[in-house]
């Protein structure tokens, strides 16, 4: 029996455990990446570990999220990140150089290597044959310190592609098709591995788009083989030496196989307000739009923007539409100019923004009131755009530009003949904003620059014997990290200041939550939160665990958890409890007082069934399925405490 590609890479990096679905494994990490919205906390944690230099092959610190320097805080944090990079042997990508996943795909992704990133869309590098996984910041800090990454062995789902995409249909539509089938939680505990003749029709940037959006299905990661398309990409990046041919064995055994005929895919869109609310563009056609944006780590490559250029050679942007482009990288922008493709974009009536995430994480680009905005972004969770309510559609670049010129949602096939897009054999490469690590002897002399917004981590106490507290909040299914810890231009600059950012926990759900949580904490009680299915989906931001812990949250009781958020909860000493009987969800109301007796003793013995006494309502049972390592982490109060022990 042959092996899948994902199995081969995991096997070659396995430190402990067995590659059996559901069992905890530990793997060696070759590369790490951080972005500034999560990175400041990562490096504070890395400093707390107390080693002199990163132990990975490559670690890169990107500044792509909080690039708007509206006051001293972002600018100070950028200097902090640069000085940290110099001090500890880390590459530094300056503000304006581009989105971490696009730049990493261009300059660092290596087939067969492992990548751990403090951003949920790290699997983008799977388009280059990497096993790339998004994780919480503390996990990334530990990987930089040379420690393995722990996860439950996922099932490996083989997605067999055949046929070829029709004109005006893109890789984005493939991902949207998969979202319509799997939903936002259908990839939990799975790796999506693409194989079959259809893969050879997709370029590395197209593959990267598909891998990127596997995150929105909850997948651990997604991966394509490393083949002639990969070689072509690496040659164009002047990195041919990094190529290695990799694929699954012909008789590879997958846990599940799904077949997709690429020729049958149509232009699709994710309607408000979830990435899996997918319909055919033709079904939504005719609705007027006020704003269209092309960008994000999913769709800001050179190929994506070349199609925009070609369309704008024939059309102008509709006068009622604000059409904006956020190029994925400096390389993308410079090659657009070199290929004489930039002029038609400017002449067509387009707003060009700097290379970065921007509106995708709520950093500007909020849409007008009561109007439709089409975006090639990754998520359209309610209010994420900065406007409440918002009406955000997620679409391909083809659908985006077609709608921008027509002034309404438009099936791009209505534009007629599809223009020919040819990527250059060699890209213009400009690494002037990519700062390499200093030699170790020079790095030791670097002083870390800390602005007033850089606040050290507070101590986190170990687990007490008993937990008594109040269920302060009860929420439903598919609660996102945006619900728990909002992003946006107002809040993201506080990412390195835990006391300040904690004031916004659950603000969009319960305005008084932070205040009420601190009042409970002062009494010596703990705070509990009750949730539904897939609690904590979305971004990898560990602030959605760390800030609640700062406010006194010690248990979250849900029907199920998203992978990264569950890990983050454990890393910061919060119990991720699962209802033994999901019907018990109905028994709990906000304000209920609970007591868990002898919890520390139960965890020390490895017990999985936890009894919760709810005052006036009797007892219910929850499941706490932890590995031995995870139990030690909860008992210690945090992974950082455990590492110090």
- What count of other Cβ atoms lies within 10 Å of the Cβ of residue 273? 18
The pLDDT, as a whole number, for residue 540 is 86
Q: Give the tokens for residue 240.
A: 């041919």
pLDDT at 438 > cutoff 90: yes
The pLDDT, as a whole number, for residue 354 is 94
Q: How confident is the model at residue 605 (pLDDT cuts 50, 70, 90)?
A: very high
Question: Which region holds residue 376: left if phi is over 0, alpha if psi is between -120 and 50, else beta?
Answer: alpha
Using the 8-state DSSP alphabet, how is residue 624 labeled?
-
Beta bridge partners of 260: 161
Confidence of residue 453 (pLDDT cuts 50, 70, 90): confident
- Residue 586 pLDDT > 80: yes
Distance CA 555, CA 576 (A): 6
pLDDT digits (tens, 9 = 90+) for 305-331: 999 999 999 999 999 999 999 999 999
Residue 645, pLDDT above cutoff 80: no
Instruction: Give me the mean pLDDT over the 21-29 stretch.
Output: 97
The bridge status of strand 31-35 relative to strand 58-62 is: parallel
> Would you say 26 and 149 are in contact if contact means Cβ atoms under 8 Å apart?
yes
**pLDDT, tens digit, for every residue of 512-525?**
999 999 999 999 99
| Ramachandran area for residue 408 (φ above 0: left; ψ -120 to 50: alpha; else beta) | beta
Interatomic CA distance for residues 504 and 277, integer angstroms = 28
Average pLDDT over the chain, rounded to whole?
Answer: 96
Are 68 and 37 in contact by the 8 Å Cβ rule? The answer is no
pLDDT of amino acid 300: 96
The tokens for 37 are: 């919205």
Q: Answer whether residue 550 shows pLDDT above 80.
A: yes
Return the pLDDT at 491: 85
Quote the CA–CA distance of 418 and 632 in Å, as a whole number: 58
Beta bridge partners of 391: 372
- Give SS3 for 619: strand
Dihedral over Cα of 331, 332, 333, 336: its sign:
positive
The string of pLDDT tens digits covering residues 206-249 is: 999 999 999 999 999 999 999 999 999 999 999 999 999 999 99
CA 378/CA 140 separation, integer angstroms: 22
Please state the φ and ψ torsions of residue 206, each to the nearest 5 degrees: -65, -40
**pLDDT at residue 93 above 90?**
yes
Q: Quote the CA–CA distance of 493 and 107 in Å, as a whole number.
A: 28
Q: What is the structure's pLDDT at 489?
A: 78
Per-residue model confidence (pLDDT) at position 363: 87
Written as six digits, the tokens of 383 are 């209010």
How much is the pLDDT for 643? 83
List the domains of the chain with CATH numbers. Answer: 5-264 (3.30.499.10), 272-414 (3.30.499.10), 467-644 (3.20.19.10)
Torsion sign over Cα 481, 482, 483, 489: positive
State pLDDT tens for residues 40-70: 999 999 998 999 999 999 999 999 998 888 8
Least-confidence region, from 52-56, 130-134, 294-298, 604-608: 604-608
Predicted local distance difference test score (pLDDT) of residue 488: 81
| C-alpha 151, offset from chain centre | 16
Looking at residue 175, its pLDDT comes to 98
Nearest to 83 by CA among 587, 502, 443: 443
Is 172 in contact with 393 (CB distance < 8 Å)? no
Residue 34 pLDDT grade (very low, low, confident, very high; cuts 50, 70, 90): very high
Q: What pLDDT, on the 0 to 100 scale, is given for residue 70?
A: 81
Report the pLDDT value the prediction gives residue 152, as an integer from 0 to 100. 96
Mutual orientation of helices 204-214 and 228-236 as an angle, nearest 10°? Answer: 110
Please state the rounded mean pLDDT for residues 2-14. Answer: 98
Listed residue (519, 522, 513, 528) closest to 613, CA to CA: 528
Task: Find the largest Cα–Cα distance for the chain.
Answer: 72
Is residue 644's pLDDT more than 80?
no
- Token code pair at residue 259: 């077949």
Phi and psi of 616, rounded to 5°? 80, -5
Closest C-alpha among 137, 122, 218, 150 to residue 542: 137
Average pLDDT (26-52) is 94
Q: What is the pLDDT of residues 464-497, one digit of tens each?
A: 999 999 999 999 999 999 999 988 878 888 888 8
């Amino acid at each position: 029996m042959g092996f899948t590609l994902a199995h081969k890479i995991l096997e070659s990096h396995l430190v402990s455990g067995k590659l059996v679905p559901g069992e905890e494994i530990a793997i060696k990490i070759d590369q790490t990446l951080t972005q500034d919205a999560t990175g400041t906390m990562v490096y504070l944690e890395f400093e707390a570990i107390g080693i002199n230099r990163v132990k990975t092959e490559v670690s890169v610190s990107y500044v792509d999220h909080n690039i708007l320097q509206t006051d001293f805080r972002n600018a100070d944090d950028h200097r902090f990140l640069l000085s940290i990079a110099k001090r500890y042997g880390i590459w530094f990508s300056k503000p304006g150089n581009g989105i971490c996943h696009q730049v990493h795909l261009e300059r660092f992704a290596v087939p067969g290597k492992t990548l751990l990133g403090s951003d949920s869309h790290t699997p983008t590098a799977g388009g280059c044959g990497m096993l790339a996984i998004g994780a919480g910041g503390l996990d990334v800090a530990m990987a930089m310190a040379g420690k393995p990454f722990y996860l439950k062995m996922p099932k490996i789902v083989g997605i067999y592609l055949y046929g070829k995409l029709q004109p005006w249909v893109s890789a984005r539509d493939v991902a949207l098709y998969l979202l319509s089938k799997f939903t936002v939680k259908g990839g939990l505990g799975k790796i999506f591995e693409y194989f079959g003749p259809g893969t050879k029709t997709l370029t590395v940037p197209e593959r990267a788009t598909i891998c990127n959006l596997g995150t929105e299905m909850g997948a651990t990661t997604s991966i394509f083989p490393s083949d002639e398309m990969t070689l072509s990409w690496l040659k164009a990046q002047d990195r041919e030496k990094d190529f290695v041919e990799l694929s699954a064995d012909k008789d590879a055994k997958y846990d599940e196989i799904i077949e997709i005929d690429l020729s049958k895919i149509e232009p699709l869109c994710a309607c408000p307000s979830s990435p899996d609310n997918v319909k055919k563009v033709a079904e939504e056609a005719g609705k007027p739009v006020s704003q269209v944006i092309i960008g994000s780590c999913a769709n800001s490559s050179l190929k994506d923007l070349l199609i925009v250029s070609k369309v704008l050679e024939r059309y102008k942007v509709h006068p009622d539409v604000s059409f904006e482009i956020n190029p994925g990288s400096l390389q993308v922008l410079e090659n657009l100019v070199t290929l004489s493709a930039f002029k038609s974009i400017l002449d067509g009536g387009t707003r060009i923004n700097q290379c970065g995430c921007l509106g995708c994480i709520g950093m500007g680009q909020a849409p007008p009131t009561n109007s439709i905005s089409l975006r090639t972004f990754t998520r359209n969770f309610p209010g994420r755009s900065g406007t409440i309510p918002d009406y955000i559609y997620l679409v391909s670049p083809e659908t985006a530009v077609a709608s921008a010129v027509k002034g309404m949602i438009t099936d791009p096939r209505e534009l007629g003949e599809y223009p020919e897009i040819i990527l250059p054999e060699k890209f213009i490469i400009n690494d002037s904003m990519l700062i390499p690590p200093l030699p170790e002897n020079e790095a030791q002399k670097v002083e870390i620059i800390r602005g007033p917004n850089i606040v050290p981590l507070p101590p986190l106490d170990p687990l007490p014997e008993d937990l008594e507290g109040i269920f302060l909040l009860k929420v439903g299914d598919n609660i996102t990290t945006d619900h728990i810890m909002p992003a946006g231009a107002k809040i993201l600059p506080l990412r390195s200041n835990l006391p300040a950012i904690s004031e916004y926990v659950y603000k969009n759900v319960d305005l008084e939550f932070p205040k009420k949580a601190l009042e409970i904490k002062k009494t010596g009680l703990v705070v509990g939160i009750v949730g539904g299915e897939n609690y904590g989906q979305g971004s990898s931001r560990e602030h959605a665990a760390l800030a609640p812990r700062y406010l006194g949250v010690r248990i979250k009781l849900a029907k199920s958890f998203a992978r990264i958020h569950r890990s983050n909860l454990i890393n910061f000493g919060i119990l991720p409890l699962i209802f033994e009987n999901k019907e018990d969800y109905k028994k709990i109301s906000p304000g209920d007082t609970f007591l868990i007796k002898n919890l520390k003793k139960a965890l020390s013995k490895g017990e999985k069934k936890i009894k919760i006494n709810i005052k006036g309502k009797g007892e219910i049972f929850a499941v706490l399925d932890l590995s031995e390592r995870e139990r030690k982490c909860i008992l210690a109060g945090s992974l950082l405490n455990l590492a110090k022990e």
